Amino acid sequence: MSGSILPGATLGVLGSGQLGRMFAIAARRMGYRVHVLSPDTDTPTGQVADVEVNASYDDLDAVARFARVVDVVTFEFENVPAAAAALAARYAPVRPRGEVLHVTQHRVREKAFLRQHGFPVAPSCVVHSSLELRQSLARLGCPAVLKTAGWGYDGKGQTLIQGLHEADAAWLALDSGEAVLEAFVDFDRELSVIVARGVDGSMATYGPMENEHHNHILDITCAPASVSEQICAEALDMAREVAAKLDVVGILCVEFFLTRDNRLLINELAPRPHNSGHLTIDAHVTCQFEQQVRAVCGLPLGSTHQHRPAAMANLLGDHLVSTEPNWESLLSWPAVKLHLYGKHTPRLSRKMGHLTTTADSPAMAKSYVKNARRELVSRAAN
């Protein structure tokens, strides 16, 4: 393809966590070199990259040097400063564009974008003080969820408010000058659709996948989701439309609530591979990380055909912190695939890895992977 970035080229990644690690593994398998920049050293991405650059995202001289020696720049998380993305774009294509990150890294801008383009979202208000919070609670009602406007993920920066009397304490605890108050959604289930979108506007989709959270952190994902054909089609269409309106080149995850009266509401957007898509490594012809490589390099997108129903279970520091897990026992489960991220220190709520399995149905896969994880944890506790 004309203008494609072909194997042998160097891909630059801003961010160095597990998403970058799995991207780098996919890229190196396809013959690319990978450079990574982040403030940390010996990172999950750096351990498998060709070059690991240790610098702050605010160190614009370092960002410029980094971008000069790569053929394209992409991201493994969206909280990269806009100035860094803009500077990198002077020296190499940046995919997705910095403008996409600008929208999706800030909840006020993200919700404004979604409303402006007619996408369904939960009722919400922007608040800047405890007084505005009380006024917004009076309009939206309780319970409601207070979220920081920026830099939130995995439930961080979120508070559930059950009554008006909790407003002042919730505002103080949030410690932010700007926040979003969302009406509480009485949902039936949570879904996600992952869209890969190429330079030419072509798209490939995964999902919808069904997600279960624990303490605001994704715990289990099953695919395909147990929803009607109509809901499946609506979710896929809406996700593709969001990707097109944002002009994403790369990967976009659209997270949905499915309400009890069978309506889809968009919860959040993530312009990069997503935790719910990790099962695509073992369950699909082309995983989300290879699709990211293909998309940002201007190559044709791969097949998203799913071989069998699948489930993924996260491994958190909570599962590993007490003692060394019995990995041999876990790996005696023949259909379980183990993915560890190379993080040295397990901490509560920290994502350390995940397990994936396939089976004859999503329910069977879910039961299998949960039981395997339970045995790992119980063996670790003994």
Give 10-residue mean pLDDT values along the chain (382 residues): 87 97 98 97 97 97 98 93 94 96 93 97 94 94 90 69 92 88 94 98 97 93 98 98 98 98 96 97 98 98 98 92 81 95 91 97 97 80 50
For the chain, what is the radius of gyration of the CA atoms?
A: 21
Which pair of structure tokens corresponds to residue 208? 């919808």
What pLDDT is stored for residue 377 in this prediction?
77
> What would the pLDDT profile of 105-120 be if each residue is shown by its tens digit?
999 999 999 999 999 9
What pLDDT is stored for residue 14 in this prediction?
97
Give, for 207, the enclosing helix (H) or strand (E). Answer: strand 203-214
Query: Looking at the chain, which residues constitute the CATH 3.30.470.20 domain(s)?
Result: 187-381
Cα distances from 45 to residues 12, 27, 346, in angstroms, run 11, 12, 17
> What would the pLDDT profile of 234-254 be if each residue is shown by its tens digit?
999 999 999 999 999 999 999
Please tell me what DSSP assigns to residue 185: P
Q: Which residues contact 177 (CB under 8 A, 6 or more apart)?
A: 128
Query: Which CATH code fits 123-183?
Result: 3.30.1490.20
CA dihedral for 230, 243, 252, 179, sign (positive or negative) = negative
Which pair of structure tokens corresponds to residue 241? 């439309």
What pLDDT is stored for residue 1 in this prediction?
44
CATH architecture of 187-381: 2-Layer Sandwich (3.30)
Task: Give residue 131's identity as a one-letter amino acid code.
Answer: L
Among 286, 271, 269, 299, smallest CA distance to 72 is for 299
Cα distances from 226 to residues 231, 267, 277, in angstroms, run 10, 19, 16
Cα distances from 210 to residues 114, 258, 314, in angstroms, run 22, 10, 14
Count other C-beta atoms under 10 Å from residue 209's C-beta.
26
> What would the pLDDT profile of 30-86 be if each residue is shown by its tens digit?
999 999 999 999 999 999 999 999 999 999 999 999 999 999 999 998 889 989 999
- Contact status, residue 286 vs residue 293, Cβ threshold 8 Å: no
Residue 249 CA to residue 116 CA, distance in Å, equals 21
CA dihedral for 98, 102, 103, 107, sign (positive or negative) = positive
Question: pTM for this structure?
Answer: 0.94
- Contact status, residue 238 vs residue 119, Cβ threshold 8 Å: yes
Count other C-beta atoms under 10 Å from residue 195's C-beta.
27
Residue 242 CA to residue 117 CA, distance in Å, equals 9
Bridge partners (DSSP) listed for residue 268: 255
Among 191, 365, 356, 229, smallest CA distance to 280 is for 356
What pLDDT is stored for residue 153 in this prediction?
58
Q: Which residues contact 146 (CB under 8 A, 6 or more apart)?
A: 127, 133, 158, 159, 160, 161, 170, 171, 174, 179, 180, 181, 182
Query: Looking at the chain, which residues constitute the CATH 3.30.1490.20 domain(s)?
Result: 123-183
CATH number 3.40.50.20 is the correct assignment for the domain at 10-94: yes
- Contact status, residue 66 vs residue 49, Cβ threshold 8 Å: no
| Phi-psi category of residue 379: left, alpha or beta, with phi > 0 → left and psi -120 to 50 → alpha | alpha
